[in-house]
Amino acid sequence: MAPARSQPQAGTGPDTDGGTAPDGLPWLGRPLAQALATQRGHALLVQGPPGVGQFSFCLQLAQAWLCEAPGRLADHTACGTCASCHLFAVRAHPDLLVLLPEALQAALGWGADEEGEARSEARSKAKPSAEIKVDAVRKAVSFAQQTSARGGAKVVVLHPAEQMNAIAANTLLKTLEEPPGAARFILSTGAVDALLPTIRSRCQQVRLPLPPAEDALPWLQARGLQSPQVLLAAAGGQPLTALELAEAGLTADRWAQLPRQVAQGQAGALAQQPLPRVIDVLSKLCHDAAVKAVGGQPRYFPADAVPADADPARLTAWAAALRRTQRHADHPLALPLQLEALLIQARQALAGA
């Protein structure tokens, strides 16, 4: 196996939530200690909402399993100073394989091997694949079968598992059932329902919940977010998503103005956004308007920003229409037309009864 390529990490954005970052993600500490104390299986499935640092969590687990400190820390986390931890830090550990779709490799700072790089250079104009392909899974299976280079565990991190196509998933199945000697697999997913049931049933499950606000808010504040509670709510409680929104230029004020703009049919802050994000924002607004219509507390938008008098039946129909559009959101459709249609739909749904 070619060693994972060392690549410097830039910044502390959501794309670079490396487990070795000294200013890591504080909310991962407790679930990590718990997983290390209780999980003895050869195949783990880490699942939960996106935007909370799943990949970082998986890396920290892997580092702890590979750590060679004689006493190990009481909570079983990695020591950070042994030879194995050093190799891990420079991304050159011979017993670690990190399997990511091409589309995520650069963003997460875990690059392709030489072969992969040659491939991506050869078709540098092609869009990087979002899938984990069968060739990569075959490589991981053969990696797992090799003898451990340092005499300890061998760990494969596969993220996100729902990006394996059916052939790739079937290739992995047998190995997950009977992993060779020292091999351990860590799969992660933000969409557990999209996995083959046979993959799920062969893994021990570790749930990574949304972090408590008292962990997430100071973390966001330390990264310069004004009104972090507004953006954390906008992100559905996912701190990495909140940071991503802020870095894309969203402010608490702009977020609070959005419902009114949408109800008036103005493209406003949505105009420059990719279609999946537009649909995400409209779905959140639809949810909040429906909740407010029956006297509940909106979840994503400030309560006073959400229209109060929308008709529940229209909102239900709007929600269904948004779900239909979402299924095709990744297609290269003509965005301006699509956006216009979505806004007409939104304005009609939000109009008072």
CB 198 within 8 A of CB 216: no
CA–CA gap between residue 96 and residue 159 (Å, rounded)? 14
Q: Which two tokens stand for residue 59?
A: 């890396």
Stretch that binds Zn ion, among 74-82, 97-105, 115-123, 291-299 (CB under 5 A): 74-82
Helix (H) or strand (E) holding 104: helix 102-108
Select the residue interacting with Zn ion from 79, 267, 329, 335 (CB under 5 A): 79
Compute CA distances 31 → 36, 210, 216, 253, whole Å: 9, 11, 15, 34
The residue (of 66 and 206) whose beta carbon lies closer to Zn ion is 66
Stretch that binds Zn ion, among 10-18, 66-74, 106-114, 290-298 (CB under 5 A): 66-74
The residue (of 69 and 335) whose beta carbon lies closer to Zn ion is 69
Stretch that binds Zn ion, among 77-85, 189-197, 230-238, 313-321 (CB under 5 A): 77-85
- Letters for 81-100 (x = contact with Zn ion by CB under 5 A, - = none) are -x--x---------------
CA–CA gap between residue 6 and residue 9 (Å, rounded)? 9
Which residues between 143 and 172 bind Zn ion (CB under 5 A)? none
Q: Which two tokens stand for residue 24?
A: 């890591």
Q: Which amino acid is at 171?
A: T
CB 310 within 8 A of CB 289: yes
CA–CA gap between residue 206 and residue 204 (Å, rounded)? 7
CA–CA gap between residue 350 and residue 346 (Å, rounded)? 6
Q: Do β-strands 43-47 and 204-207 pair in parallel, antiparallel, or remain unpaired?
A: parallel
Dmax over CA atoms of the chain, in Å, equals 70
The sheet carrying 183-189 orders its strands as 96-99, 154-158, 183-189, 43-47, 204-207
- Contact status: 305 vs Zn ion (CB under 5 A): no
CA–CA gap between residue 145 and residue 164 (Å, rounded)? 20
- Letters for 8-47 (x = contact with Zn ion by CB under 5 A, - = none) are ----------------------------------------
The residue (of 85 and 195) whose beta carbon lies closer to Zn ion is 85
The residue (of 60 and 241) whose beta carbon lies closer to Zn ion is 60
CB 234 within 8 A of CB 258: no
SS (H, E, C) 158-200: ECCHHHECHHHHHHHHHHHHCCCCCEEEEEEECCHHHCCHHHH
**Terminus-to-terminus CA distance in the chain, angstroms?**
63
- Write down the least CB distance from residue 86 to Zn ion, Å: 8
The residue (of 79 and 210) whose beta carbon lies closer to Zn ion is 79
Stretch that binds Zn ion, among 35-43, 61-69, 317-325, 337-345 (CB under 5 A): 61-69
- Contact status: 69 vs Zn ion (CB under 5 A): yes
CB 46 within 8 A of CB 187: yes
- Write down the least CB distance from residue 19 to Zn ion, Å: 13
- Contact status: 59 vs Zn ion (CB under 5 A): no
Stretch that binds Zn ion, among 76-84, 169-177, 217-225, 242-250 (CB under 5 A): 76-84
Size of interface with Zn ion, in residues (CB under 5 A): 6
- Write down the least CB distance from residue 68 to Zn ion, Å: 6
- Contact status: 335 vs Zn ion (CB under 5 A): no
The residue (of 72 and 138) whose beta carbon lies closer to Zn ion is 72
Which residues between 262 and 281 bind Zn ion (CB under 5 A)? none
Stretch that binds Zn ion, among 80-88, 146-154, 265-273, 312-320 (CB under 5 A): 80-88
CA–CA gap between residue 266 and residue 340 (Å, rounded)? 9
The residue (of 132 and 155) whose beta carbon lies closer to Zn ion is 155
The residue (of 67 and 285) whose beta carbon lies closer to Zn ion is 67
Q: Which residues of this chain interact with Zn ion, rule CB under 5 A?
A: 67, 69, 78-79, 82, 85
